[in-house]
Amino acid sequence: MKVNIITVPSTEKVVLVGLTNHHYPIEIAKEHLDELEFLAKTSGARTSKTFLQKLDRPDRRTFVGKGKLAEIQVYVQEEGIDAVIFDDDLSSSQVRNLEKVLECKILDRSLLILNIFSLRAKTAQSQTQVELAQYEYLLPRLTNMWTHLSKQKGGIGMRGPGEKELETDRRIVRDKISLLKKKLVKIDHQSLTRRKARERMVRVALVGYTNVGKSTLMNLLSKTEAFAENKLFATVDSLVRKVVINQIPFLLTDTVGFIRKLPHTLIESFKSTLDEIREADLILHVVDISHPYFEEQMEIVQTTLREIGIQNTPQILIFNKIDRINAKDTKEHDPHLLDLDQLEKSYRKNGQQDCVFVSATDKSNIKELKQSILDKVKPKHFAIYPNYLKYGIY
Ligand SMILES: Nc1nc2c(ncn2[C@@H]2O[C@H](COP(=O)(O)OP(=O)(O)OP(=O)(O)O)[C@@H](O)[C@H]2O)c(=O)[nH]1
Ligand SMILES: [Mg+2]
């Protein structure tokens, strides 16, 4: 059996639904929906319309209120919409209720992210990790997802939703989960051996929100071709390259980007990929400074790092894409944008000693970036190889 949790083929027309309230004022809620639209586009779908409702908390039965639901229903029917995507996680009963009214595919942000990850995963390791995350997502929702999925092409089966079948399917999914976990242990063991076999070298990891330019910087620093693209989650597997600056070698890792509301099952099952970050001696936290909400993105990255158990690894903050805020027309567009000197001062004042402002595409300030990486890597390198220092090899 292969679970093919709802996918979004490129031909599909979708609508997006989110809430605004005192947690998410209208500006922020709109930005979240913009990001959801970018996720949908990355999945290959076309967004026809977005709906935003002012509601303190999601309606227990249908996420949005009755009136809004009726409005969405009319639109879905008139425009022949294929799927409705909600910005927050839906419970299984919400999915069922919404499906009854809207009569089309119902997805939430987590499912969409899982979908993108499964399209992007290239290695056996990341494919297994994503598949595990999908089954883990599915298991608690199986009761009602069953009807949901069984109506759709690529669902997990085509039989009716009788209790007995449901029990059988729960068992099948549980068996599958334990099988995948076993498979992952084996793969993890191999990659651990590989990591151990690497030369003892200082390890540096590129970390950041998705689409900030991590892979572009990786390419620049290591002169390789990591896959970079203006889509979310271009990178799902990690890539490790040896980089040498002024004769000091170190290993640089480029890995999966973070995003708000990253499904927990994904964090769990990507544990071994995230080990690359956990084992790093230095974190390069890349920020897209041209993004209007870059500070919220930074916060999400720091929270996710804490969630995966990374607290004290030294960091360099790399503010990337300065070409976009230097560009005159962007400034006119976004008058609140930013005096870089001011920003640097305020970060230093807040105890962040190392920050660099760069553009990976027009290669500005890359020399400064390399110098600040070197300043951090050098002492660690000589701590591993003290004799080199003693004999004055460098
Ligand atoms: N204007 C501008 N664009 C940049 C810069 N750096 C990267 N980009 C663009 O930003 C987009 C995303 O770059 P990636 O390097 O794929 O970003 P990433 O952080 O690896 O993204 P994920 O792997 O999806 O998490 C691409 O279209 C890049 O060309 C920069 O300094 N300036
Ligand atoms: Mg990338």
Task: Count structural domains, the chain.
Answer: 2
Pair 335, 209 in one domain: yes
What is the model's pLDDT at position 235? 80
- Which ligand 1 atom is nearest residue 232's CA? 24
Boundary (domain end) residue, out of 93, 120, 147 = 120
In a domain? residue 185: no
Tell me, what CATH number does 365's domain have? 3.40.50.300
Boundary (domain end) residue, out of 71, 87, 120 = 120
Q: How many Å lie between the centroid of ligand 2 and the Cα of residue 217?
A: 9
Name the more confident of 53 and 193.
Answer: 53
What is the model's pLDDT at position 274? 87
In a domain? residue 7: no
Measured in whole angstroms, the distance separating CA 354 from the mean position of its chain's CA atoms is 25
In a domain? residue 55: yes
Pair 104, 203 in one domain: no
Domain span at residue 313 reads 198-390
pLDDT band with cut points at 50, 70 and 90 for residue 283: very high
In a domain? residue 170: no
In a domain? residue 253: yes
Is 289 a pocket residue for ligand 1 (Cβ < 6 Å)? Answer: no
Q: How many Å lie between the centroid of ligand 2 and the Cα of residue 11?
A: 25
Pair 94, 222 in one domain: no
In a domain? residue 5: no
Pair 237, 368 in one domain: yes
Boundary (domain end) residue, out of 120, 149, 169 = 120
In a domain? residue 276: yes
Checking DSSP bridges between strand 239-245 and strand 248-254, what pairing results, if any? antiparallel
Pair 216, 327 in one domain: yes
Of 294, 292, 361, 285, the closest CA to residue 321 belongs to: 361
Is 291 a pocket residue for ligand 1 (Cβ < 6 Å)? Answer: no
Tell whether the model's pLDDT for residue 5 goes beyond 60.
Answer: no
- Which residue, by CA, sits nearest to atom 30 of ligand 1? 321
Pair 113, 229 in one domain: no
Pair 204, 98 in one domain: no
Is 210 a pocket residue for ligand 1 (Cβ < 6 Å)? Answer: yes
Burial 293-302 (b: 16+ CB within 10 A, else e): bbeebbebbb
The mean per-residue pLDDT over the stretch 314-327 comes to 89
Residues with beta carbon < 5 A to ion ligand 2? Answer: 214-215, 234-235
Q: What is the DSSP string of 145-203?
A: HHHHHHTSTT-S--S---HHHHHHHHHHHHHHHHHHHHHHHHHHHHHHHHHHHS-S-EE
User: 143-157, 190-204, 263-277 — which one is most confidently predicted on average?
Assistant: 263-277
The mean per-residue pLDDT over the stretch 182-210 comes to 86
- Which residue, by CA, sits nearest to atom 14 of ligand 1? 213
- Rounded Cα–Cα distance for residues 394 and 384 (Å): 14
In a domain? residue 132: no
Name the more confident of 250 and 333.
Answer: 250
- Which ligand 1 atom is nearest residue 359's CA? 31
Is 285 a pocket residue for ligand 1 (Cβ < 6 Å)? Answer: no
* Ligand nearest the Cα atom of residue 239: 2
pLDDT tens per residue across span 146-176: 444 444 443 333 334 456 677 788 888 899 9
